[in-house]
Amino acid sequence: MDKFIIKGPTPLKGIIPVSGSKNAALPLMAASLLGDSPSTIHLVPRLKDIYTFNNVIRVTGTKVDFDEEANTLTIDPKHLGYLEAPYDLVRKMRASFYMLGTLIGHSGQAKVSLPGGCAWGPRPVDLHLKGFEEMGINIELDQGYVHASTQNHSVEGGEFTLKPSSVGATINLVLGAVKRAKKFTIHNAAREPDVVLLCKMLQQMGADIEGIGTSTLIIRKVDKLSGVDFSNDPDRIETGTFMIAAAMLPKSDITLTGCKPKDLGRFPNAFKKLGVDFSVDGSNIHIKSNNTIHPVSIRTEIYPGFPTDLQAQWATLMTQANGTSTVTDTVYFDRFSYVPELNRLGAKMKVEKNKVTIHGKTPLDGASVMSTDLRASVSLVMAAMAAGGTSEILRIYHLDRGYENLEEKLNNAGASIKRVPQEIPA
Ligand code: EPZ
C-alpha cells in the first residue's frame, strides 16, 4: 500500500490534461458484450477500476485487449459463454454489477454477486432488482448472489419509476432491456452524461432507445446489435476536481485540456461565485486563482445539479474561503468521512446529518492523514498541497481507482508529491 509525501503550499501553473471518464467507460465496456462482433473504445483511462472490470468481463470468456499506450480497449464477445460475475471480483468494484444487465441482455440469464457496501455506508441495489422483475425477469437471491432468468427469448417489459433516480439502476436496466424487452419504459431515469453516452453507443450498435438525455427512456427490443468503434467522454469529475484545486491554491494559473465543459452541468454556476478567474475555450478551461475566495454554500443533486462526486473537494476548498459555508449532500447522506482527516490538518468543519459546516479561512498545517474513499482521498491531496509543511497521505490505493497519473499531472504543474511504498506494520 503506497503513500504520498506532499510538501506545501504550492501553486498550480501550466497545463493539466484531463483523462477519459472512469464512470462513463465502465458501462461502455459492459455494452460491448451485447454486440455480435468486437467493439473498440477510445479514451479509456488506465485505472484500477478499469483493470478490475476487464478481469470481470474476461471471466465470461470474452476477449479483452487493453492498448494502454493508446488508451484503447478492444472487446470481443465471440466466446462469451460463462454467465457469472464472481464475488471476489464484484466486491472490488461496485460497477461490476452492470454484468447483471449485460448478461440478462445477452442471454436472458445471469448469476452475479451482490456488490459490497463502500466506505461511506450501504449502497443498495433494490431498484436494479425491482426494475428487472417489472421487466419480466425472474430474480432470486441466494447466498449473496442474484440469479436472474427468463424462460422466453423476450419478455413483455413494462414501466418502472426510479425512486430515487439512480445512475447505476438506469444503466443496468437499459443494458438488460435493449435485446430482451419488447417495450420497457424507465421513468425518473438518470440523465448523467455517462447514461447519455451509453445510450448513444447502444444506438450506434443498433438499439432502439427513445428519450436519450431526458428522464424518460423507452427501450424497444432489437434482435441484433453490432460491435462499434466508439469514443469515451473526458472525465467531468476529474475536470471539476482540478478546477477546485486551482481555485484553492493561491497564485495558481492553469489550463485544463481535453475537457467537455458542457458535461459539468450546473457546477460552473457555483464555481463562478468564488471570485476566481475562469474561462472556457472549446475543450480548454482556464483558471487563475485570486488571493480571496468567497464562501459559496452548495447542495448536491442528481444531474445536471452539483455532483455528489465533487462535494468533498468543494468542502475542502471552502476551508480557504473568507467566511462560513455549508455543503449538503442530498444524494448520499453520510459521505463525510474526509471531515475528521481535514480537521487534523487544521480545518474547522462540523457535520450534522447530511450537511457539513465549514468555517474559513483556516490555515492548514501538514500532518499524517488517511484516505477512506476515492473522492475523499483527492480532497486530502488538495488540502496537503495548500497546507504549510509536509503531509503524509496513507492508503492512496483509493486514488489509483479513479485518477490517472495524478501525481505526474500535478507535479508537472508545480506540486511536490512523492509516492513511497508504505511499510506494512509488523
Ligand atoms: C454512480 O454510482 C457513480 N459510480 C458514483 O460515483 C456517483 O457518486 C453516483 O452514481 C451518483 O452520481 C459509477 O458511475 C461507477 P446511484 P451509483 O445509484 O450508480 C440510491 C465515484 O466516486 N439507490 O445513482 O451506485 C443510492 O443509495 C462514484 O466515482 C437506491 O436507493 O449511484 C443513492 O442514495 C462514487 N437503490 C442514490 O440512489 C438502488 O438500487 C443514487 O445512487 C440504487 C441506488
Q: Are residue 285 and residue 391 in the same domain, yes or no?
A: yes
Residue 266 lies in a domain: yes
Return the amino acid letter for 94. R
Residue 164 Cβ inside 6 Å of ligand 1? The answer reads: yes
The CA radius of gyration of the chain, in Å to the nearest whole number, is 22
**Strand locations in 162-283 (E):** 181-187, 208-210, 216-220, 229-231, 253-257, 277-281
Q: Nearest 5°: phi and psi at 391? A: -120, 155
Checking if the pLDDT of 218 tops 90, the result is yes
Checking if the pLDDT of 64 tops 90, the result is yes
**Residue 21 in contact with residue 236, Cβ under 8 Å?**
yes
Residue 26 Cβ inside 6 Å of ligand 1? The answer reads: yes
Residue 169 lies in a domain: yes
Residue 344 lies in a domain: yes
CA distance 301 to 328: 9
CA distance 80 to 77: 5
CA distance 87 to 84: 10
Indicate the residue among 229, 257, 274 that finishes a domain: 229
Which residues, at least 6 apart from 355, have a Cβ–Cβ distance to it below 8 Å?
Answer: 326, 327, 328, 329
CA distance 308 to 299: 9
Pick the closest to residue 3 from 381, 403, 408 (CA basis).
381
Return the amino acid letter for 267. F
Q: Are residue 38 and residue 151 in the same domain, yes or no?
A: yes
Atom of ligand 1 minimally distant from the CA of 128: 40
Q: Are residue 180 and residue 273 in the same domain, yes or no?
A: no
Lookup: cell for 267 = 457546477
CA distance 253 to 258: 17
Q: Are residue 315 and residue 349 in the same domain, yes or no?
A: yes
Pick the closest to residue 399 from 423, 420, 381, 422 (CA basis).
381
Lookup: cell for 130 = 425491482
**Residue 232 in contact with residue 70, Cβ under 8 Å?**
no
Residue 426 lies in a domain: no
Q: What is the DSSP letter of 266?
A: T
* Bigger pLDDT: 5 vs 152: 5
pLDDT at 123: 80
pLDDT at 423: 66
Q: Are residue 145 and residue 241 in the same domain, yes or no?
A: no
* CA-to-CA dists, residue 137 to 109, 128, 167, angstroms: 9, 11, 20
Atom of ligand 1 minimally distant from the CA of 374: 22
Residue 338 lies in a domain: yes
Name the pLDDT band for 117 (thresholds 50, 70, 90): low
| 258-296 tens-digit pLDDT | 999 999 999 999 999 999 999 999 999 999 998 899 999
- What are 359's strand-pairing partners? 324
Pick the closest to residue 311 from 293, 331, 327, 294 (CA basis).
327
pTM of the model: 0.96
Go through 107-145 and write b for each residue having 16 or more CB atoms within 10 A of its CB, e for each that does not: bbebbbbbbeeebbeeeebebbbbbbebbbbebeeeeeb
pLDDT at 116: 67
Mean pLDDT of 176-202: 98
The answer to whether 118 is a known catalytic residue is yes
Checking if the pLDDT of 426 tops 60, the result is no
pLDDT at 421: 85
Q: Are residue 356 and residue 217 in the same domain, yes or no?
A: no
Q: Are residue 41 and residue 151 in the same domain, yes or no?
A: yes
Label residue 383 exposed, middle or buried (CB < 10 Å: 0-12, 13-18, 19+): buried
Probe residue for ligand 1, chosen from 48, 96, 123, 373 as the CB with the greatest number of ligand atoms within 8 Å = 123
Measured in angstroms, how far is the CA atom of residue 391 from the centroid of ligand 1? 31
**Residue 69 in contact with residue 62, Cβ under 8 Å?**
no
Q: Are residue 251 and residue 343 in the same domain, yes or no?
A: yes
- N-to-C CA span, the chain: 14
Which residues, at least 6 apart from 193, have a Cβ–Cβ distance to it below 8 Å?
Answer: 21, 24, 233, 236, 260, 263, 303
CA dihedral 122, 126, 129, 131 (to 10 degrees): -130
Measured in angstroms, how far is the CA atom of residue 121 from the centroid of ligand 1? 12
Q: Determine which one of 5, 59, 118, 218 is catalytic.
A: 118
H helix and E strand count, the chain: 14, 24
Number of domains in the chain: 2
CA distance 164 to 36: 34
Residue 159 lies in a domain: yes
Residue 298 lies in a domain: yes
SS3 of residue 277 by DSSP: strand
| 234-261 tens-digit pLDDT | 999 999 999 999 999 999 999 999 999 9
Residue 280 domain boundaries: 2-18+234-421
Residue 292 Cβ inside 6 Å of ligand 1? The answer reads: no
Checking if the pLDDT of 118 tops 90, the result is no
Indicate the residue among 213, 229, 245 that finishes a domain: 229
Pick the closest to residue 29 from 2, 82, 65, 5 (CA basis).
65
Q: Are residue 380 and residue 293 in the same domain, yes or no?
A: yes
Measured in angstroms, how far is the CA atom of residue 416 from the centroid of ligand 1? 33
Q: How many residues does this entry show for the chain?
A: 426
| 225 CB neighbour count, 10 Å cutoff | 25
CATH of the domain at 94: 3.65.10.10
Q: Are residue 144 and residue 247 in the same domain, yes or no?
A: no
Q: Are residue 165 and residue 220 in the same domain, yes or no?
A: yes
| 312-362 tens-digit pLDDT | 999 999 999 999 999 999 999 999 999 999 999 999 999 999 999 999 999
Q: Are residue 142 and residue 122 in the same domain, yes or no?
A: yes
Checking if the pLDDT of 124 tops 60, the result is yes
Residue 367 lies in a domain: yes
Name the pLDDT band for 424 (thresholds 50, 70, 90): low
Mean pLDDT of 132-157: 94
Indicate the residue among 170, 202, 229 that finishes a domain: 229
SS3 of residue 350 by DSSP: strand
pLDDT at 159: 98
Q: Are strands 138-142 and 13-17 parallel, antiparallel or unpaired?
A: unpaired
Q: What is the DSSP letter of 337?
A: T
CA distance 237 to 235: 6
